[in-house]
Chains A and B, each alone.
Chain A
């Protein structure tokens, strides 16, 4: 195959989603955010929803999510994304409305907004990136930090007497009657990426069908925060994060 054949669109097997622009991402090598962003871009393109989507960006590493996907965005105060999404979806019920939040945003400072939006059964999708650490501020302990896991605010490892147990927010949300779909996924392998794509697509479809709140937790890596190579981070995640945050559907109604 010569070069002109290779770049012939008919022969393309993979391309950047149209919804994604060319802005270089600020994410670290090995970070899960980039993959999840790409999946969201693909799904919005596949669903032909670019002109009907309003996304809510968090505070945390994904604060700049609005730079990479060519859709309308609102950037929320830390933890408040579900409150914004509630109002947007109530006032524009025919739109696809989703929040994109990290563990500090969703499971610490935004706990009340998250639980109550889910409990009201707001017809929104929540994409929850759980890497067990505050990446943006430099690697502090998160509510989902594992016991024994070191961070800049738990330098000797998280201990129960001082910091309590990791908070499993997704399990908690699955208890709520307003929630229709809860799943926990990852993006460390091709198979996992495909499953996560299906999960996000389902969450988006639920939002459009007004079925209630959908939550897709993506157990993620933070190579910089965890101080590991991207490859080691994936292995460490499988070995340590998955037992605490097991993969699979928690609720699918």
Chain B
């Protein structure tokens, strides 16, 4: 390892995508498998530049497609290895089959989606329109994915590390759901400390289900999502659902700004939450008592927190770079207690603080 990478706690300036690559190496990731797509190609480029196979032994492989990448992740994860991939919206659509298989086979892995505008080939500009795909399960079958929504370059690094911990804690694929701004913008970041990759003995201890070769003293390990008997398939589903309830109980993360006395609450995630912090500032300067809740985990969603706020606020506004996706979860949480309105821009357009403030006044305060 070069000295440059050993100076912990040093503040660096880099892109969100680069931070993901550095964090992956530092947290003991065993394998990255990816396919180029804008606006996240710097993740694999940075890894290829850093050559971690020479230092930590991490494998970095450019696959022939996102379909191959996610299935390479499946193969690696099946061996108890810390495996990850990254892509942007169209590529993540291609991965949905693999993600469903990973969920069904109870395999931990990390997927980073640096969202861009869709549908179709869409645009390379930022978007949050993959919320449904991510949080509601874009692949087939009843599964959920833990979803972290970074709002800064620092969180791109931190969430990469956290995603691995959660993935292995619950044996589930975990997504870091960023967008083109977070991936591309440069900010200061303190990279996480180096953790060694797991040794084979540690893998055997931590993931006794891993396929490493069957020794004489155990039965074969089989990584599999197939259950031909309906009763067995339901049993697997019940196991998964019980795990999702545990995740909902234990892992909700969110951030609040000026919510204590707020009459109106904005709900926004990722980079839009940064913009909405400014909206809160502008609104308060005009005497509007507005606060902000930023869900950090999108699944599990901060339902209870929103429910509590709904007891006393006058209304909520969900602000997203989409046609309105998270707003449905806000409405479910609030359950009709107060009006929940939506404001968003699509196709890669980022709303300005002024237009959000205007929407807040038009949709909630004047109404």
Contact = CB atoms under 8 A, between A and B. Distances in A.
Contacts, number: 128
Given A84-B71, A84-B74, A112-B67, A75 B225 contact: yes
Interface stretch (B212-220, B319-327, B358-366): B212-220
Contacts of A73: 211, 220-224
Interface residues of B, number: 39
B97 interface: yes
B71 A83 contact: yes
B211 A74 contact: yes
B78 to A, nearest CB: 4
B61 A77 contact: no
A4 B73 CA distance: 53
Contacts of A86: 61, 68, 72, 75
A87 interface: yes
Given A73-B224, A95-B213, A116 B75 contact: no
Contacts of B342: none
Nearest to A69: B220
A50 interface: yes
A53 B213 contact: yes
A72 B73 contact: no
Nearest to A112: B64
A177 B68 CA distance: 20
Most chain A beta carbons < 10 A, residue from B30, B68, B97: B68
Given A73-B222, A80-B71, A113-B64, A87 B33 contact: yes
A229 B81 CA distance: 46
Contacts of A112: 64-65, 67-68
Contacts of B220: 66, 69-73
B297 to A, nearest CB: 28
A54 B213 contact: yes
B346 interface: no
A85 interface: yes
Contact of A66 (B74, B76, B215, B224): B224
A70 B220 CA distance: 6
B213 A88 contact: no
Nearest to B217: A51
A75 B105 CA distance: 9
24 contacts: A51-B213, A51-B215, A54-B79, A72-B221, A73-B211, A73-B221, A73-B223, A74-B78, A74-B222, A75-B223, A75-B226, A77-B98, A83-B71, A84-B72, A86-B72, A87-B81, A88-B211, A91-B76, A91-B79, A95-B213, A112-B64, A112-B65, A115-B64, A116-B68
